[in-house]
């Protein structure tokens, strides 16, 4: 069965550290991220970027004037890279190595939290994903916003119908990848490294939002929010942005 430790190992790999470090400069903030973050977070807000990687969004927002932003990631190699890039950019940002399942922060500490580029869905086991949502609810202030994305590949775009047809047949005949825990778990390779993602249905996401005492403010495909640059479209397939508010 896939574990959080397996995910951590995949993000410790040199090729992943290089990929995410390069993205800080070459990709930077997506237009959609900038639009939504500036809509829901003030520059004076204390903001937490969970699954910050090498700091693509943390550094991107710090450069836009978000002086109270900080990042957390499971991979200490990515955190080391983020600290180095911030130092080179002359930015004073706190980066912490930690697991979103057990956040090293106080109750109601943040005015806003985000978990970008589908990172929440790289946490194996739906019970762990719910724990993470509850942890985020604990560290965020009442009425504050949490922004995250999920892969759009289940029913939303209809692009992967054949894939899910085949996936369902394998699952029903118990021929699915033996590492999978939940229906929608997917294993794929990036630069020869085995990666994991859970691709949820919208109903499933709505359920964990409800069970962790948030309410949905908005959920929209990235492609409905704005048009992204060509290199960003090559780097990342369409996703769903979820804006949720602590009840
Ligand atoms: C797809 S990468 C995105 C990195 C960065 N946000 C970006 O957009 O460049 C997902 C990130 O989530 C982190 N991650 C996965 N599970 C995590 C967990 N349980 N706690 C903290 N970070 C986690 C990974 O280490 C990885 O850096």
In angstroms, the CA 5 to CA 238 distance is 27
Phi, then psi, of 65 in degrees rounded to 5: 105, 5
In the predicted structure, residue 156 carries a pLDDT above the cut 80: no
DSSP helix/strand/coil, 23: helix
In the predicted structure, residue 157 carries a pLDDT above the cut 70: no
| Ligand 1 pocket, CB under 6 A | 4, 7, 11, 20, 23, 50-53, 56-57, 73-75, 78, 99-101, 116-119, 122-123
What pLDDT does 153 receive?
84
Q: Which ligand 1 atom is the nearest neighbour of the CA of 4?
A: 19
Tell me the best of 15, 53, 133 to mutate to test the pocket of ligand 1, counting ligand atoms within 8 Å of each CB and taking the most: 53
pLDDT digits (tens, 9 = 90+) for 170-180: 999 999 999 99
For residue 166, how far is its CA from the centre of ligand 1 (angstroms)?
28
For residue 160, how far is its CA from the centre of ligand 1 (angstroms)?
24
| Cβ atoms 85, 59 nearer than 8 A | yes
Residue-averaged pLDDT of the chain: 96
* % of the chain beyond a pLDDT of 70: 99
In the predicted structure, residue 160 carries a pLDDT above the cut 90: no
In angstroms, the CA 136 to CA 102 distance is 9
Mean pLDDT value of segment 139-148 = 98
Ordered by where they begin, the domains of the chain are 4-246 (3.40.50.150)
| Cβ atoms 213, 247 nearer than 8 A | yes
235 pLDDT tier (thresholds 50, 70, 90): very high
């Amino acid at each position: 069965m896939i574990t959080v430790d397996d995910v951590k190992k995949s993000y410790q790999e040199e090729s992943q550290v290089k990929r995410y470090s390069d993205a800080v400069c070459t990709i930077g903030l997506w237009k959609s991220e900038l639009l939504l973050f500036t809509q829901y977070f003030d520059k004076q807000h204390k903001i937490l970027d969970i699954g910050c990687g090498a700091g693509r969004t943390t550094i991107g927002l710090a450069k836009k004037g978000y002086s109270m932003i900080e990042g957390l990631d499971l991979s200490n190699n990515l955190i080391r890279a983020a600290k180095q890039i911030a130092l080179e950019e002359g930015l004073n940002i706190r980066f912490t190595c930690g697991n979103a399942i057990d956040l090293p922060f106080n109750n109601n500490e943040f005015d806003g939290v985000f978990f970008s580029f589908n990172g929440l869905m790289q946490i194996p086991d739906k019970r762990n994903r719910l724990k993470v949502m509850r942890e985020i609810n604990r560290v965020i202030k009442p009425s504050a916003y949490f922004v995250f994305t999920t892969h759009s590949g289940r029913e939303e775009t209809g692009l992967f119908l054949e894939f899910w047809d085949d996936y369902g047949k394998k699952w029903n005949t118990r021929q699915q990848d033996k590492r999978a825990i939940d229906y929608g778990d997917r294993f794929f390779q990036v630069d020869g490294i085995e990666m994991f993602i859970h691709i949820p249905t919208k109903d499933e996401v709505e359920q964990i939002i409800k069970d962790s005492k948030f309410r949905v403010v908005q959920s929209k495909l990235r492609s409905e929010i704005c048009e992204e640059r060509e290199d960003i479209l090559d780097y990342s397939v369409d996703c769903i942005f979820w804006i949720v508010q602590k009840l």
